[in-house]
A and B are shown apart, each in its own frame.
Chain A
Amino acid sequence: MKGLKALAAIVFLSFTAAVPATAQTPLAEGIQIGLSTDAVSITAGFSGADLTIFGSLENPDPLVARQGRYDVIVVLEGPPKPVVVRRKDRVLGVWVNLDSETFENVPVSYSVATTRPLQDITEPNSYKQLSLGASNLYMQPADAGDSPATIEEFTAALRERKAAAGLYSENVGGVQFLSQNLFRATVRLAPNVPVGTHKARAFLFKSGLFIKESSAQLEIRKSGFEQSIFRVAHDYSFLYGVFAISLAMVTGWLGRLVFRKD
């Protein structure tokens, strides 16, 4: 903690030193985030974890900071993928997938950490403009010709399913200021977090106004024996199939040797 204070002091000093040069127009506030690593490996038994992201405000107004009017929202966004949402309906008493809607570029996962509840930070409209927050995320339908009501219904279902799977999450209070300009954000990685290039984005708000955004990339990979099997199954699928068959034949033959009764 002592070290952090020292760091904050240095940043503050450099800030005050910079003031005289632009006395009339104070330097614009900015935000930076840093990841201690650009790749995270998770093993087969991964049961979810918290990822901590550190960041700092650049040129914060000390008065605003003291009053707690700076808000930060940090998002860890999974790789975008097309998704099909299907709805079951009854046909002759049987539940059948009938209607469907395809969405382009839906982030596979989306976890948010905020300083305060989302509705306290800024207006619903600015969230919409920024496409920020799981409930404001813009989902692009593949077929824009569908009726808005249908698209809305399937978008809501998509968000609800993602949240139920733990892939879309919100951590209110997950961003904490450690000093006037240093903050720490805790975002959740779901147990079923998808592999690929994730994007960490930080949004800075001042008294409800969006100021700046900054982002960093994070690669999530799976490692371990199970992942090797997965890779082989996809990259060398023919050999994998031959292996699966041989394994079954040998097991059957061994089973006969070990347990023969005639």
Chain B
Amino acid sequence: MGIYLPIAEISVNVFVLLAMGAAVGFLSGMFGVGGGFLITPLLIFYNIPPAIAVATGANQVIASSVSGVLSHMKRGTLDFKLGSVLLAGGVIGSTGGIYVFALLRRVGQLDLFISLLYVILLGTVGGLMLVESINALRATRSGAAPVLKKSGQHNWIHRLPLKMRFRASKLFVSVIPVLGLGAGIGFLSSIMGVGGGFIMVPALIYLLKVPTNVVIGTSLFQIIFTSAYTTLVHATTNQTVDVMLAFLLMAGGVAGAQYGAKAGQRLRGEQLRALLALLVLAVAIRLAIDLFVTPPNLYSLSGVGLY
């Protein structure tokens, strides 16, 4: 069944989009990530113009983050204060990101920049995760107890000034890295259409030493607002948010997420991380190939002020 997307201005198959949303929802339920980093490249592979894929991806991330946050709020695994400081940084980063986004679009380098960012970030995160999970798998196989990092360990980040106390996270840390992290995620959110959970979660755990149980809830909490802000700014400055497209993805995603969460319970943590790492790497490689393979058309047209 074909449907015409009003903003992307192309006809697409409803079932492909629902399936895409459901598949990504399944994975995001399984791995506890927002799924934006999968949705946006998939949309680009499906010939949605990258500018629209990014803005719509940000919109879609809101839906999956809201349902995630609701369950974390119930369990009390959410640090509102930490989330709010991250959010303040996020708004700054996101504003800068939108400006860069519009600039790149004007000079015709947006598509390239989006692909490059995806390849670099997904490649790095996927590679690190794969190494870490394979080591963990080896360790459990050889019977050795996994080495856990203690949350009391200090690094250079804890020597920065302007310290602030975050009670729910049992944390006393400078606001500078928190704001900086928020700003970085906000920047990526507006340029890549991702919530940034796949960077936020490891950064909170390894850099700020936030206890793992509050990390996902807090990251999701701030992602809702960062992506909402990103969506709003994209809608007003670039008119690239396609609600029809976003809604189809959300509908599929919300349904897929529960089955994913169920399936995730049957797999062990390291196996889950190794699978996610492989998936992330696969997306990165696919995008990288497109950068290097000779395109069928060397010339492209774009309107002035249009995509």
Spell out A's residues near B (CB within 8 Å): 44-45, 81-89, 93-97, 100, 102, 154, 157-158, 160-162, 164, 192, 226-227, 229-230, 233-234, 237-238, 240-245, 247-249, 251-256, 258-262
Minimum CB distance partner of A164 in chain B: B297
Minimum CB distance partner of B299 in chain A: A157
State the CA gap A89–B62 with chains docked (Å). Answer: 37
Which of the residues B4, B74, B241, B300 comes within 8 Å of A241, measured between beta carbons?
Answer: B241
Query: Binary interface profile of B, 1-34, with partner A (CB < 8 Å = 1, else 0)?
Result: 0101111010100000000000000000000000
Whether A248 contacts B59 in the complex (CB less than 8 A), given A94-B292, A97-B112, A262-B74, comes out as: yes
Which of the residues A85, A237, A248, A262 comes within 8 Å of B60, measured between beta carbons?
Answer: A248
Query: Binary interface profile of B, 72-115, with partner A (CB < 8 Å = 1, else 0)?
Result: 00110000000000000000000000000000000011001000
Which of the residues A96, A234, A247, A256 comes within 8 Å of B67, measured between beta carbons?
Answer: A256
State the CA gap A97–B66 with chains docked (Å). Answer: 38
Contact A244 B235, beta carbon cutoff 8 Å: yes
Contact B231 A259, beta carbon cutoff 8 Å: no
A/B interface sample: 5 pairs, CB < 8 A: A83-B304, A233-B243, A238-B236, A255-B67, A259-B258
State the CA gap A43–B40 with chains docked (Å). Answer: 28
Which of the residues A87, A89, A227, A247 comes within 8 Å of B243, measured between beta carbons?
Answer: A247
Min C-beta distance of B300 to chain A, whole Å: 5
Min C-beta distance of A257 to chain B, whole Å: 9
Contact B301 A158, beta carbon cutoff 8 Å: yes
Give the top 10 A-B pairs by smallest Cβ distance, nearest first: A255-B254, A252-B66, A241-B235, A248-B62, A44-B4, A157-B299, A252-B63, A229-B6, A241-B232, A226-B6
Contact A45 B4, beta carbon cutoff 8 Å: yes
Minimum CB distance partner of B60 in chain A: A248
Contact A44 B63, beta carbon cutoff 8 Å: no
State the CA gap A83–B231 with chains docked (Å). Answer: 27
Which of the residues B241, B247, B300 comes within 8 Å of A161, measured between beta carbons?
Answer: B300
Q: Is B152 an interface residue (CB 8 A)?
A: no
Minimum CB distance partner of A224 in chain B: B4
Min C-beta distance of A149 to chain B, whole Å: 15
Minimum CB distance partner of B56 in chain A: A244
Min C-beta distance of A83 to chain B, whole Å: 6
Contact A233 B6, beta carbon cutoff 8 Å: yes
- Known: A226-B6, A244-B231; 17 extra A-B contacts, CB below 8 A, are A85-B299, A86-B299, A93-B292, A94-B116, A94-B292, A95-B294, A161-B297, A162-B301, A229-B7, A229-B243, A233-B7, A241-B234, A245-B59, A247-B246, A249-B63, A252-B63, A255-B253
Specify which chain A residues have a CB less than 8 angstroms from the CB of B234 in the assembled complex: 241
Which of the residues A82, A87, A154, A245 comes within 8 Å of B228, measured between beta carbons?
Answer: A245
How many residues on chain B are close to A (CB under 8 Å)? 59
Contact A88 B6, beta carbon cutoff 8 Å: no
Whether A45 contacts B2 in the complex (CB less than 8 A), given A229-B7, A230-B7, comes out as: yes
State the CA gap A230–B59 with chains docked (Å). Answer: 17
Min C-beta distance of B257 to chain A, whole Å: 7
State the CA gap A255–B63 with chains docked (Å). Answer: 9
Contact A259 B66, beta carbon cutoff 8 Å: no
Contact B108 A229, beta carbon cutoff 8 Å: no
Min C-beta distance of A260 to chain B, whole Å: 8
Minimum CB distance partner of B304 in chain A: A82
Whether A251 contacts B247 in the complex (CB less than 8 A), given A83-B302, A83-B303, A241-B231, comes out as: yes
Q: Is B267 an interface residue (CB 8 A)?
A: no
Specify which chain B residues have a CB less than 8 angstroms from the CB of A243 in the assembled complex: 243
Whether A85 contacts B247 in the complex (CB less than 8 A), given A251-B63, A254-B254, comes out as: no
Contact B59 A97, beta carbon cutoff 8 Å: no
State the CA gap A119–B143 with chains docked (Å). Answer: 82
Contact B251 A161, beta carbon cutoff 8 Å: no
Contact B241 A97, beta carbon cutoff 8 Å: no
Contact B299 A160, beta carbon cutoff 8 Å: yes
State the CA gap A231–B6 with chains docked (Å). Answer: 9
State the CA gap A158–B297 with chains docked (Å). Answer: 12
Contact A88 B298, beta carbon cutoff 8 Å: yes
Whether A233 contacts B239 in the complex (CB less than 8 A), given A245-B231, A255-B254, comes out as: yes
Q: Which of B190-212 contact A (CB under 8 A)?
A: none
Contact A252 B250, beta carbon cutoff 8 Å: yes
Contact A256 B292, beta carbon cutoff 8 Å: no
State the CA gap A162–B297 with chains docked (Å). Answer: 12
Min C-beta distance of B159 to chain A, whole Å: 39
Q: Is B189 an interface residue (CB 8 A)?
A: no
Min C-beta distance of A92 to chain B, whole Å: 10
State the CA gap A229–B262 with chains docked (Å). Answer: 37
Contact B299 A249, beta carbon cutoff 8 Å: no
State the CA gap A238–B65 with chains docked (Å). Answer: 22
Specify which chain B residues have a CB less than 8 angstroms from the CB of A88 in the assembled complex: 295, 298-300
Which of the residues B62, B241, B301 comes within 8 Å of A85, measured between beta carbons?
Answer: B301
State the CA gap A245–B58 with chains docked (Å). Answer: 10
Minimum CB distance partner of A158 in chain B: B301
Min C-beta distance of B194 to chain A, whole Å: 15
State the CA gap A242–B108 with chains docked (Å). Answer: 28
Whether A229 contacts B241 in the complex (CB less than 8 A), given A85-B301, A256-B71, comes out as: no
Q: Which of B222-262 contact A (CB under 8 A)?
A: 224, 228, 231-236, 239, 241, 243-244, 246-247, 250-251, 253-255, 257-258, 261-262
